[in-house]
Amino acid sequence: MHSSKRGLIKDMSKKKIIIRMSAFLALMIIIDQICNFALVQPGLSRIMFHELKQGQYNCIILGASHGSYGLDPEIVGTELKKNTMNMCMGGEYMIDAYYTLEYALDYNKIDEVVFDIDYQYLVNYNDVNILHNNVYNAYPASVHKVGYYVKRVLGEDYRGTMLRWTNYWQCYKYMGRTIRKKLSSEYKTYNPSVVNMNRYDSYMGEGFTFRNQHHKKDSASCLDWNESKVSEQEIGYIKKLVSLCKKKGIKIVFTTVSQDPATVAEKESGFTAADAYISKLAQELDVTYLNFNKIRFDEYDRDSDDFYDREGHMYGESAEKFSQLYGKYVNMALMGDETYKSAFYANIGDMVKAYKGN
Amino acid sequence: MSYISAGFLFTIALGALVYYLFPKKHRWLVLLLISLLYYTSYGFSNLVYVLFTCITSYIISLKMSEMEDKVHRKRLLSVVLVLNFGLLFLLKYCNFMIGNLNSLSEVFGRNLNIAKLTIKFPLGISFYTFQTMSYCIDVYRKKTEPERNIFKLLLFVCYLPQMLQGPIGRYERLGLALSEGSDFDYRNIERGAVRIFYGLAKKLILADRAFIFANNIFYTPDKYSGVYIIAGILMYSIYVYCDFAGGMDLVIGASEVFGITMDENFRQPYFSKNLGDFWRRWHITLGQWMKDYIFYPFSLSKACQKLSRRAKKRFGRVYGTLIPICLSNILIFFIVGVWHGASWKYIIYGLYNGLIIAMANILKPTFEKTVKLLRIKSNSAPYRVFQIVRTFILVNIGWFFDACSSASGAFKAMGQTFKNFSLKVVTDGSLLKVGLGVREIKILFVGVLVLFVIGVLREKGIDIREWIMKKPLPLKWAIYIILFFIVAPFGFVSASTEFVYAQF
């Protein structure tokens, strides 16, 4: 009798401890969610994923910020004769692109994928904190998110995974405005007006951001190519992406959007090595690679004034001009028409020579 | 998965849940499983080396325990030591030796040009090799019984929290505690979680921030001189302490969650009164290892005893006793230097520490006489502060070898300290252009102050964690929540969040 009573007390106290621990955890999660709601700023990526979910696209462009500023999907789509969605986002690594495609396939009947590769993303995977990753932060809840989560973030700083608001904590001054925005109908209907954008930028829909020519030129330049820093994991995801496309019968082409020719000339050896590396990879994977840094100047006349920084992000007007050519040659490549090659220089060196000759 | 990754924290949380759901006698299996899973997340090749160490130690320790003859046991011990330290040497120091041989051959006009090995260095090998060899030596000395279950020994070799950066545990404490398992106690989880977040605070708020400044200075020391170098080395001392001690807090805290108490590795090292004291407070388990397995066997060896007798005859009793001790110290710190890395800068770093400690031993009688002569009270607060500052300066001189990329770079940086020395850079804002702005410096300053106060309290035997744990529930929770939510935003955001000692 005595020992059973003691056992009962022990059980009670165990239960009490478990309830207390669960209550504490729940409290932490609630506070975390409140912080997320009040501090995390609404971004374009959330809207882009929503647009993608509408399921009206049969071509998707994947890539990073060069693509989001450089490719108007409406113009590219006209050339491709496909409803095209530009899912290029600043900070989109190969793994992010792969999971974006997985998500896109759930809602769309995709038959063409254009994968824009900026070599910088192959060499700096380990230099960037997950807190700044737009794709991960906006990736909607889905079955794929579990796989994405395990592969992408379990190894990263716990703050990026568990405490997303960390990156925005200095927005506490705008907490009231953020909460009001998130409670507004515009936010609920994915209206881009809720996004705090650079005042020279306009979101044109379907993933394209138009930067006004009045924006003062930034000084940011390209990272140097360094083959020893190429992330094996990133290359693995390019291969996975290609094999997923092949498995689903989707045509795929690799591209690199044109960058400031002055930067290409300045870092000629790096661009040449990166071009050789990606070309070799594309060849191994049996995918056509169009490096638009090599497009002839008589096809696409460009200079530093077409880009708002040395790294190679385009102004909107240049982007619209470029998108038409981009769509045209990507379409030829996808159709197996090899005459597109005549519009490109044989190598980066020839392009630089032509640029300097101008 | 680094210790600050979500993966590590999830592994600990989920691991603890499963651990306590299992019956006590099988709990070690859960720990083994999660340890292996965690270690293989760094690549399967790492596991091969761990298995090699475990299997050789298992077989040889069992064999040794069956033998009564000391000579035979010694032979077997030599085999396991040669195999494991040989492997460590091959992986860690072979390329260093090859590089030196190639350079030497060039000096003598013959270019050997021996190709370097391209083997991936297994994570934590220095730590688990030292830990496992201590087990073998203890079995040889009949200090501990050999483990008859190879999987339990494997757990001791690769126990998740400690395998990447220590502390270097002893089988008689850690090994047995792991095998026995622990009872569920809510306070262990609470204690462990608080310690984990204290470690995260040290790492993210202080270490990662101080690193930016120190790295900018010592990456290009030619660019800086005078006060910049002094500020850089002070930042480095914050960085290296908070990184390593923060990592230890994480490790020990994670282990506490499982109810397993690990050996402490730090005890307020920057409050040390002399360099010897510093090494008894810094990386304690490595120091203890060196003392038990190198210092005593060496200083009590026949050769050393003979030397001592001769020295006593020649220099008198005091110095005769001191000479073998000094030699043992120099040897130990030479090994400590080598342990830190395959580079001349680490060897010089080790010898610097060994020589200073040896000199301090030799000059101890002179110091004591001087203190008496000057009528200084050796237990007075000002004298203690003087001792602490003096030791801190000596420690910081040593950090030059750690902070710079090479030994010559360290000497150059030391030389630069005396060039263009102007205090103006402190007031004109020049120091704010080295990578950390006003806000960052303020956070760093407040953080160091908090760390200092906690250190002082600890020196007085007050444990803040225990003090908080005794508070009423609502107050306690409020403190925990504030601490948890403060670390994240005030922590420095950078991509490089690896712990410096994880590379050993």
Nearest CA in chain A to B477: A24
Contact A155 B1 (CB under 8 A): yes
Compute the average pLDDT of residues A85-110.
94
- Tens digits of per-residue pLDDT, A47-61? 999 999 998 999 999
Would an 8 Å CB–CB cutoff place A8 in contact with chain B? no
Asked if A358 is an interface residue toward chain B (Cβ–Cβ < 8 A), one would say: no
At how many degrees (to 10) do helices B438-459 and B227-257 cross?
60
Average pLDDT estimate for B139-168:
91
CATH number corresponding to A43-155+196-357: 3.40.50.1110
Q: Which residues contact A273 (CB under 8 A, 6 or more apart)?
A: A225, A227
Residue pair A160/A129 in contact by the 8 Å Cβ criterion: yes
Asked whether residue B325 carries a pLDDT value surpassing 90, the answer given is no
Q: What is the mean pLDDT of residues B361-379?
A: 87
Give the separation between CA B452 and CA B206, rounded to whole angstroms. Answer: 12
User: What is the DSSP pairing of strand A201-205 with strand A208-211?
Assistant: antiparallel
Which pair of structure tokens corresponds to residue B203?
């790492």
Measured between beta carbons, the chain B residues lying within 8 angstroms of A163 are 485, 488
* Average pLDDT of the segment spanning A157-167: 82
**CA A299 to CA A305: how far, in whole Å?**
17
pLDDT for residue B425: 83
pLDDT at B341: 81
Model ipTM? 0.75
Determine the pLDDT at residue A129: 61
Helix or strand (DSSP H, E) at B338: helix B317-340
Nearest CA in chain B to A133: B495
Question: What's the pLDDT at A1?
Answer: 47
CA distances B475 to A13, B125, B196, B471, B472, Å, are 21, 43, 20, 6, 6
* 3-class SS string, B367-418: HHHHHHHCCCCCCCHHHHHHHHHHHHHHHHHHHHHHHCCCHHHHHHHHHHCC
| Beta carbon pairs, A and B, within 8 Å | 67
Give the number of residues written for chain A.
358
**Do B207 and B448 contact (CB within 8 A), yes or no?**
no
List, for residues B263-283, the tens digit of each pLDDT value: 999 999 999 999 999 999 999
**Using one digit for the tens of pLDDT, what is the confidence trace for B166-220?**
899 999 999 999 999 999 888 899 999 999 999 999 999 999 999 999 999 998 8
> Which chain B residues have any C-beta within 8 angstroms of a chain A C-beta?
1-2, 4-10, 41, 184, 186, 189, 204, 473, 477, 480-481, 484-485, 488-489, 491, 493-497
Q: Name the residue with higher pLDDT: A51 or B223.
A: A51
* A108 Cα distance to chain centroid: 18
Residue A3: pLDDT band (50, 70, 90) is: low
- Proportion of chain A above pLDDT 90, given as a percent: 63
Question: For residue A23, what is the nearest residue in chain B, using CA coordinates?
Answer: B477
Q: Whole-angstrom Cα distance, residue A222 to residue A72?
A: 23
Helices then strands, each counted (H, E), chain B: 22, 0
Residues whose CB falls within 8 Å of the CB of residue B316, separated by 6 or more in sequence, listed in order: none
* Residue given tokens 């809510």 in the structure block: B186
Q: Which two tokens stand for residue A110?
A: 């995709």
